[in-house]
A and B are shown apart, each in its own frame.
Chain A
Amino acid sequence: MHHNLDKANPILPAWPLPRRAPGAQAAIAAAPAAAALAVRDLSVSFGANLALKQVSLDIPARAVTAIIGPNGCGKSTFLRALNRMHDLVPSARVEGQVRLFGSDIYGPGIQPVVIRRRVGMVFQKANPFPTMSVADNVTVGLRLNGVRDRAVLAERLHESLAMAILWDEVKDRLDAPAISLSGGQQQRLCIARALAVQPEVLLMDEPASTLDPLATARIEDLILELKESLTLVIVTHNMQQAARVSDYTAFFYMGQLVEYGATVKIFTNPAKQQTEDYVTGRFG
């Protein structure tokens, strides 16, 4: 494993976080109190439009949770509520609780900046910063958070690119412009950039939807590697992808959580008719 979460993080303040022992994943769904993210009655509205209605679920640590559902069902809205990205939209209103390892990220006095350091995000379209080199893109999160030590930066650069399975492809052109990489490499660079600040949770909003099958397969392999060390939540339109990479799946429809459970169960023996219709491709 490249990345040890239990090692004291030199950059960020020490948080009193309950860490789960590896190998205890199976018990998590049955023991929601130990979830990485515990979502309770989460509603998000934009002006008069209620986009997400009273969603409650537990996202287990060190596992992959997939969010599926048709367009406009609130998948992305849900994901962006998990690291307070809605704070950027003046008309957005968030109600309910999201507890990150026990503490409410919407609690009084909690800074969104602090939450976003712990809960990273990868976007649908690869968006490396166009004026920066490959290396600068990876280390920018550390540098703009005040890390100056060159040795630390170099180490994190190597570690993050290695975790994103990109090191071997770019090690000889770390100073090349980031936008000179291919689309799939750019997306893995964005993942490396997010990993460099050592988040505990990584949110991915359709990370492979603009990539070809080969690049998509690389991203999926990467997701499976990453879950060894952190918690992943992935929004996807591609049900085969959800089935391939996730341990748990949540099906959203019209802003509501319809069904949530182990991926195997959702795809083979769902409890709700709506879920079955969706995963078998009868609607959506």
Chain B
Amino acid sequence: MNTACHQWRKFKDVSMQALTCACALLVVVPLALVFYHVLKSGIGALNWAFFTRLPKPVGEPGGGMANAIVGTFELLGLAALLGVPVGVCGGIFLSEYGHTRLNWWMRFAADVLNGVPSIIWGMVVCALVVVPMKGFSAWAGGIVLGFIMIPLVMRTTEEALRLVPQGYREAALALGIPLWRAILGIVARTALKGVVTGILLALARVAGETAPLLFTAFGNLYWNHHLSEPIAALPLQIFTYAISPYEDWHRQAWAGALVLLLMVAIINITVRVLTRERLAKLR
């Protein structure tokens, strides 16, 4: 046996392991940095007023982002209203119906749409909704976020349904259950957690979108009283405050960033819990 050769191999093995480990750690570092920095800068301005008050005019101390927090939830609700039914139905079609060339094209289209820069979505919806309605509105903001959600939800729904073993479909159909009822009552029910996971991840993704809201929802320093008026959203408010020259607004922008980050983190943790249960059940 050649000892030198053996030692060289061992050295290569250990160094490659170290390298891959270092790369894996490198992924965690930015996340830790972001959390640390946002927490440090944002926690100071975070208080009860931040969640309950409207923004104050420049120069006046205090005030909060209540309208932006509520606005973000309103926009997410509108987006879900559009994105969830269309995305879920599309995913069901891709997974369960028609195994033709059309499916290939739809899948391809969804993947391309997932890569479209979000500001382009904003421009398109601005042209399609804002211009005809003659004004920025919560509707336009919800529609643009909904459009971004559709391909995401569609693909994750499809993947979740495909994970359901074929045996369940056959068992359902062998009972003489019509196909559509078997899909909704058995296949989709079995995959429900996966579908919900996909929806939550899509919501987490669009919750932080800023660019497409710039010329659709537009932002608002006051409460939104009607969905056809401009509406505030956390990312927009952060953007506006961060590029302002006022120290007080900067601190509030950090607090807004912290709240947004926590929202997305909570959604992600929920997803983790859901998927862990699902995996445990399969075992």
Report A's interface with B, CB cutoff 8 A: 83, 85, 88, 90, 112-118, 120-121, 123, 125, 127, 129-132, 140-141, 143-145, 179, 190, 193-194, 197
B167: which of A112, A118, A127, A132 is its contact (CB, 8 Å)?
A127
Q: How far, in whole Å, are A83 and B173 apart by their CA atoms in the complex?
A: 10
Given that A116-B176, A129-B190 are contacting pairs, would A144 and B170 also be in contact in the complex, using a CB cutoff of 8 Å?
A: no
Chain B residues touching A, majority SS: helix
Contact A85 B176 (CB under 8 A): no
In the bound assembly, the distance between CA atoms of A194 and B174 in angstroms comes to 8
Q: Which residue of the partner chain, among B176, B185, B192, B281, contacts A113 with CB atoms under 8 Å?
A: B176
C-alpha spacing A90/B185, complex, angstroms: 23
Top 8 nearest A-B pairs by Cβ distance? A117-B176, A141-B175, A121-B174, A127-B167, A116-B176, A144-B177, A144-B181, A144-B185
Chain B residue with Cβ nearest A130 = B190
Decide: A144 near B174, CB < 8 A? Known: A88-B169, A127-B165.
no
CA distance A141 to B165 in the complex (A): 18
The CA of A90 and the CA of B176, in the complex, are separated in Å by 19
Tell me the B residues contacting A by CB distance below 8 Å. 99, 165, 167-179, 181-182, 185-186, 189-190, 192, 281
Q: Smallest distance from the beta carbon of B24 to chain A beta carbons, Å?
A: 34
Task: Tell me whether B170 and A85 are in contact (CB under 8 A).
Answer: yes
Q: Are A116 and B167 in contact (CB under 8 A)?
A: no
Q: How far is the CB of A14 from chain B (nearest CB, A)?
A: 16
Number of A-B contacts (CB under 8 A): 82
The reply to whether A144 and B281 contact each other, CB–CB distance below 8 Å, is no
Q: Which residues of A contact B185 (CB under 8 A)?
A: 140, 143-144
Give Cα distance in the complex from A120 to B174, angstroms.
6
User: With A90-B99, A127-B168, A130-B281 known to touch, is A116 a contact of B189 (CB < 8 Å)?
Assistant: no
A116 CB contact (under 8 Å) in B99, B173, B181, B186: B173
Cβ–Cβ < 8 Å partners of B181 in chain A: 144-145
Min CB distance, B274 to chain A, in Å?
Answer: 14
B163 shortest CB reach to chain A, Å: 12
When the two chains form the complex, which single residue of A117, A131, A144, A190 contacts B182, counting CB atoms closer than 8 Å?
Answer: A144
Assembly CA distance A115 to B170 (angstroms)? 14
Residues of chain B within 8 A (CB-CB) of A114 are 176
Contact status B176-A129, CB under 8 Å: no
User: A142: shortest Cβ distance to chain B, in Å?
Assistant: 9
